[in-house]
A and B are shown apart, each in its own frame.
Chain A
Amino acid sequence: MDDDLIIGHGDFKYKVISDWGNLDKLTNPVTDCHEMVQDSKGRIILLTNNTKNNVIIYNKDGKLIETWGNKYPGAHGLTIKNEGGEDFLYITDIKKSFVVKTSLSGRQILKINRPEEFDTEDKKLNFVPTETAIAENGDIYVADGYGSQYIYIYDQKGQLKSRFGGPGKEDGQFYNCHGVAIDERQGTPRILVTAREKNQLKYFTTSGEFESTIELPGAYICRPVIRGENIYLATIWSGDKGDNTGFISILDKDNKLVSAPGGKIPQYEGSKLKKMTQAYQVFKHPHDVCVDDDENLYVPQWNAGQVYPMKLIRV
């Protein structure tokens, strides 16, 4: 219809369903909706820090299928990985400071606690993990985005192998390494890490050597989500980090911003992106973006009035 709002640019334009996934707030409440993934059966899985139902599983129409989880008051990062034909979830908890691997029904398989080997005599390591990424060999990359600013590499059994990054202004350092993903679009896997306060994404080798930076001025990014040849990013604050801001960013295969649903038209001066800001008050602090097998998007939001996720239909 003519009055439907369309957001985004170029080949990535969307209509917005704001009441997708609305449930009874008494029986299935949400607090912050942090992250979402799609499983092998096509179901949409939401992680919220409401301990009445940390995990809410929907079909693509927003109908409730099942819920579970009441032990994750700081539920924050949600990653899905198919291992040997079975889907597993990796959940980070920023209040209890751990990472757990579970089955799709919530059975705990592995738990990673604070790596005590980095404690000193007078100070314990501040470990507040925000995100995980899982390599094909099973290695688990844990972004300590609200804690020590390191990316910790564990093997598939949860044994610590090494870490890289740390706090600071240098190229390979972070202020809020909030998200992590593995980018295999060019063949060789590379680790892509959010440097939120710097409005950047940073590439590292799988062993943690810094390679390069993608500048996204005005975008306070949560995590990179790689789908096909594109990277999708939720921007929790935008522009000057004002309240109730944010939009979605979509990068092409060359990591150029080609669409910003909810944001203004991307403008480049040469190879340099001009500072991005919000265009329409559609989102309030989007925290993740899930791309389903129809290339529609699901957007959970942080500190947005305990609202359920939005769905964006590609047009």
Chain B
Amino acid sequence: MRYIFVILILAFWGCNKVTQQSMYVQKSNTTLSPPSISVDEAFFNIQTLIRVNDVDPKINIRYTIDETEPTQNSPLAKKHIIVSETGIYKFKAFQKEIKSSNTVSIETIEARKVNWIGLESNDPNETYNSGISVLTDHKKGDWNFRSDEWYGYQDSIVQFSFILEEGEVVNGAVVSTMIDQNSWIFSPENVRLTYHFEDGHKEKHELSIPDCIVQSKKQMNYLKITTPPRYPKKIDITVYNMLSIPDWHSGKGLKPWLFVDEILVL
């Protein structure tokens, strides 16, 4: 009898606790959104600034520069970070009582201004043609592919050719693109870098991207080929797009888009 009485008391207490549960979303069940981070020049010559745009004093932004995930013990990100080397910076937001955010990665590439005397490319789609100079202005485009920083193609093969000044050393190239599969913008499947030398011979380097057909989150996509130092008179950077959008996508069978905002000669 005594046990039954105790159980009834506990049951009543338990029910009473349930009725005190809040009807509102709780902090402990909430996740922070990723921090807002921007970089002045993702492709920089001497140095650039990464800016931390969040100002909420309740939120701490922590970061790493060794490609590991930031933790509560990682350094606090100040308002800006001076960058003078190629690298990947990772940022994460933390707030007491709230789950930490996903990680934001910022990639910076040290890229000198190579002296070239000629640049040619296929004509982009006329809607996304802001002039070929955007490909070498060292300005990173934002996520708005309609902005003046992007060149948009639906061609299967796109080629960029640089004629270089005599004696210019080249260590490779980067094609800066984006992936936004909801907007039918995919990674290409292959990039080829061809050096043409004064004596007529050629040297080819390739980057294959087999993952281009799989589902991917929206991201900036740097397609980088590095080589030993070379002194070509001309370089061709040839981008091979998928012939059609994969079957899992609503645009299956149609031509995917390639968006390029910069070609870096390293």
Question: Do A and B come from the same complex?
Answer: yes
Whether A3 lies near B22 (C-beta < 8 A) is yes
Whether B36 lies near A264 (C-beta < 8 A) is yes
Which 4 A-B pairs have CB atoms at the shortest separation, nearest pair first?
A240-B143, A278-B33, A16-B25, A4-B24
CB-CB contacts below 8 Å: A255-309 with B? 264-265, 267, 274-275, 277-282
**Contact of A1 with B by CB under 8 A:** yes
Whether B25 lies near A18 (C-beta < 8 A) is yes
Whether B30 lies near A282 (C-beta < 8 A) is yes
CB-CB contacts below 8 Å: B17-47 with A? 22-28, 30-33, 36
Q: Inside 8 A of B24's CB, which chain A residues have their CB?
A: 1, 4-5, 15-17, 313
User: Within the complex, what minimum Cβ distance (angstroms) separates A315 from chain B?
Assistant: 10
What 1/0 mask marks residues of chain A from 222 to 254 whose CB sits below 8 Å from any chain B CB? 000000000000000001111101000000000
Whether B36 lies near A239 (C-beta < 8 A) is yes
Whether A243 lies near B33 (C-beta < 8 A) is no
Beyond known contacts A5-B26, A279-B32, A280-B31: 15 more, CB 8 A cutoff: A3-B26, A4-B22, A4-B25, A4-B27, A5-B98, A15-B24, A16-B25, A17-B24, A17-B25, A18-B25, A240-B218, A242-B218, A245-B33, A264-B55, A313-B24
User: Within the complex, what minimum Cβ distance (angstroms) separates A259 from chain B?
Assistant: 14
**Contact of A197 with B by CB under 8 A:** yes
Whether B31 lies near A264 (C-beta < 8 A) is no
User: Within the complex, what minimum Cβ distance (angstroms) separates B77 from chain A?
Assistant: 15
User: Within the complex, what minimum Cβ distance (angstroms) separates B176 from chain A?
Assistant: 16
Q: Give residues in A with beta carbon < 8 Å to B.
A: 1, 3-5, 15-18, 175, 197, 239-243, 245, 264-265, 267, 274-275, 277-282, 313
**Contact of B146 with A by CB under 8 A:** yes
Whether B55 lies near A282 (C-beta < 8 A) is no
- Which chain A residue shows the least CB distance to B20? A1
**Contact of B144 with A by CB under 8 A:** yes
**Contact of B53 with A by CB under 8 A:** yes
23 contacts between A and B (CB under 8 A): A3-B22, A4-B24, A4-B26, A5-B25, A17-B23, A17-B24, A17-B25, A197-B144, A239-B36, A241-B143, A241-B144, A243-B217, A245-B33, A264-B56, A265-B55, A265-B56, A275-B36, A277-B33, A277-B36, A277-B53, A281-B31, A282-B25, A282-B30
Whether A15 lies near B36 (C-beta < 8 A) is no
Whether B28 lies near A3 (C-beta < 8 A) is yes
User: Within the complex, what minimum Cβ distance (angstroms) separates B48 from chain A?
Assistant: 18
A180→B23 CA distance, assembly (Å): 34
**Contact of B97 with A by CB under 8 A:** yes
- Which chain B residue shows the least CB distance to A1? B22
Q: Inside 8 A of B32's CB, which chain A residues have their CB?
A: 279-281
User: Within the complex, what minimum Cβ distance (angstroms) separates A174 from chain B?
Assistant: 12
**Contact of B85 with A by CB under 8 A:** no
Q: Inside 8 A of A5's CB, which chain B residues have their CB?
A: 24-27, 30, 98
Whether A243 lies near B36 (C-beta < 8 A) is no
Please, how many residues of chain B have a CB less than 8 angstroms from a CB on the other chain? 24
Q: Inside 8 A of A15's CB, which chain B residues have their CB?
A: 24-25
Whether B54 lies near A264 (C-beta < 8 A) is yes
- Which chain A residue shows the least CB distance to B56? A265
Q: Inside 8 A of A274's CB, which chain B residues have their CB?
A: 53
A242→B217 CA distance, assembly (Å): 9
Q: Inside 8 A of A267's CB, which chain B residues have their CB?
A: 55
A3→B144 CA distance, assembly (Å): 38
CB-CB contacts below 8 Å: B112-131 with A? none
User: Within the complex, what minimum Cβ distance (angstroms) separates B102 from chain A?
Assistant: 9
User: Within the complex, what minimum Cβ distance (angstroms) separates A5 from chain B?
Assistant: 5
Q: Inside 8 A of B98's CB, which chain A residues have their CB?
A: 5, 280
**Contact of B198 with A by CB under 8 A:** no
**Contact of B67 with A by CB under 8 A:** no
Whether B146 lies near A197 (C-beta < 8 A) is yes
Whether A3 lies near B55 (C-beta < 8 A) is no
**Contact of B137 with A by CB under 8 A:** no
Q: Inside 8 A of A277's CB, which chain B residues have their CB?
A: 33, 36, 53
Select B97's contact among A3, A16, A18, A265, beta carbons within 8 Å: A3
**Contact of B168 with A by CB under 8 A:** no
Known: A197-B144, A275-B36. Contact between A243 and B25, CB under 8 A?
A: no
- Which chain B residue shows the least CB distance to A315? B24
Q: Inside 8 A of B54's CB, which chain A residues have their CB?
A: 264
Q: Inside 8 A of A280's CB, which chain B residues have their CB?
A: 30-33, 98
**Contact of B206 with A by CB under 8 A:** no
- Which chain A residue shows the least CB distance to B98? A280
A162→B42 CA distance, assembly (Å): 47
**Contact of B203 with A by CB under 8 A:** no
- Which chain A residue shows the least CB distance to B54? A264
User: Within the complex, what minimum Cβ distance (angstroms) separates B96 from chain A?
Assistant: 12
Q: Inside 8 A of A175's CB, which chain B residues have their CB?
A: 146
Q: Inside 8 A of B166's CB, which chain A residues have their CB?
A: none
A278→B144 CA distance, assembly (Å): 17
